[in-house]
């Protein structure tokens, strides 16, 4: 089981930001995505830069959510793009061939196929269960995940309400990575929360 941790500034106290993410890495996270929807450019730059150093120390990739310019600025390992973000070819041109580019495909297999054809390195589907981060997000079935696994050769990320209790259902259906926000950063003991996904 590969844990993909996504930060959320509403859940992590700013003064403990790096320390909190480090606990999740120690607990078993294999990828970190920096996600901050605020417009505080200075804080975003400083946090992302510090986070990149931390990820390099643990030899795991740091991806930036939705912000190709920030990823390029700090030299992050890649980006994760949603439906209203920069297109894949433009992100690739700016970040280079070695960058990891992931794309949210929600509950649409056609979007995933298009993303792979355009050069995405992985695709993400969700939400699979009730999500506290995006309660209004469209639901995605485990059946679609299984179909995606049969038709796609790239890594598949699952997101949305994934807990240690339902994680095996998602992995069995074909997910390579479990993307988690609240299940990690919304918990009192983030180290124990991360470890629970890796049992």
**Catalytic site includes residue 141:** no
Residue 107: CB atoms within 10 A of its CB come to: 17
Q: How far apart are CA 46 and CA 54, in angstroms?
A: 12
**Catalytic site includes residue 110:** no
For residue 135, which phi and psi values (nearest 5 degrees)? -65, -25
Q: Point out which residues pair with 125 in neighbouring strands.
A: 158
Residue 65: CB atoms within 10 A of its CB come to: 20
For residue 185, which phi and psi values (nearest 5 degrees)? -80, -10
Q: Which residue out of 23, 35, 44, 127 is catalytically annotated?
A: 35
Q: Which residue out of 134, 139, 146, 149 is catalytically annotated?
A: 134
Q: How far apart are CA 111 and CA 166, in angstroms?
A: 25
Give the distance from CA 155 to its chain's centroid: 12
Helix (H, G, I), strand (E, B) or coil at 169: helix
Q: Which residue out of 23, 92, 104, 127 is catalytically annotated?
A: 104
**Catalytic site includes residue 53:** no
Active site residues: 35, 104, 134
């Amino acid at each position: 089981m590969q844990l993909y941790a996504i930060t959320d500034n509403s859940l992590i106290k700013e003064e403990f930001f790096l320390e909190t993410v480090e606990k999740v890495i120690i607990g078993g996270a294999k990828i970190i995505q920096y996600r901050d929807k605020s417009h505080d450019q200075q804080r975003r730059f400083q946090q992302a830069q510090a986070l990149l150093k931390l990820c390099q120390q643990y030899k795991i990739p740091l991806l930036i959510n939705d912000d190709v310019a920030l990823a390029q600025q700090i030299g992050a390992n890649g980006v994760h793009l949603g439906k209203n973000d920069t297109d894949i070819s433009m992100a690739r041109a700016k970040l280079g061939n070695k960058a990891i580019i992931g794309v949210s495909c929600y509950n649409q297999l056609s979007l995933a196929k298009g993303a792979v054809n355009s050069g995405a390195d992985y695709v993400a589907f969700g939400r699979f269960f009730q999500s506290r981060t995006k309660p209004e997000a469209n639901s995605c079935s485990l059946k679609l995940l299984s179909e995606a696994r049969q038709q796609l050769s790239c890594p598949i990320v699952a997101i949305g309400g994934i807990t240690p209790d339902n994680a095996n259902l998602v992995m069995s259906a074909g997910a390579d990575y479990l993307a988690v926000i609240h299940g990690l950063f919304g918990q009192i003991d983030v180290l124990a929360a991360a470890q629970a996904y890796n049992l």
